Amino acid sequence: MKRAFPIFAVLTAALLAYGLYQALWVAPTDRLQGDVYRIIYYHVPSAWTMFSFFALNFVSSIVYLIRRNPRADAVAVASAEVGVVFNTVVLVTGPLWARPVWGIWWTWDIRLTSTLVLWLIYVSYLLLRRFSSGGQMPVLAAALAVFGALDMPLVYFSIWFFRTQHPQPVIGGGGSIDPRMLQVWLLNWIAFQCFGLLVFAARYRLEVLSQEVEEMQALESLLEVRGSR
């Protein structure tokens, strides 16, 4: 794993650079929006990556609630942190695109609002883990994560079921897209997934080490108590 990590990191950096080149210079310019539409090559793949890591958090949180497996808890917190990063990218790049296209930075549209709520829930999850202590903290955090995951279907399907300001789906929604644009979307999505996996792997390892340190400290405290009797 230690040998594979730097190789994977180099490949990911190359993929990110190639994706940036494709997005800015190779992909065709949108006839209606002009070059500003190129933000979607970061906005949309970031959203897809966000969903994948929040889904991983949801599954690992359920596993933890059922089995109390500390490794599942480590997966949950690491995936939540990566998901929040990409959720933040989505919330930043969306208004950057909306201002020149819609004429406004933000509107309380169901898709935008539910995405903001998703970010607030998982930020609350991370704050709970950061500033709370005690044996029940992972359980409470896992329960909050499961609750937060209920917002993901609303975010994804809102533009199908509600009349929104947000553009209707192109993929799977009956629209059409230039195949070259779709290729760049998919390329950047793969690049973002690889980058997310890199960060996730490093953060997961750090969380496991933290758990091992806490276990050792708890064992030392127990031995000290027994030795003092």
Concatenating the DSSP letter of every residue in 66-86 gives: HH--HHHHHHHHHHHHHHHHH
pTM above 0.85, yes or no: yes
Residue type, 191: A
Domain containing 78: what range? 4-227
Are 72 and 63 in contact, with CB atoms under 8 Å apart? yes
Low-confidence ranges of the chain (pLDDT < 50): none
Q: Retrieve residue 112's tokens.
A: 């935008």
Q: For residues 163-172, b (16+ Cβ closer than 10 Å) or e, as one string?
A: ebebeeeeee
Q: Which two tokens stand for residue 63?
A: 């596993």
The pLDDT score that the predictor gives to residue 108 is: 87
| Count of the separate structural domains present in the chain | 1
Residue 33 is predicted with a pLDDT of 85
> What is the pLDDT at residue 130?
87
Predicted pLDDT of residue 132: 78
For 134, left (φ over 0), alpha (ψ -120 to 50), or beta? Answer: left
- Bridge-partner residues for 34, per DSSP? 30
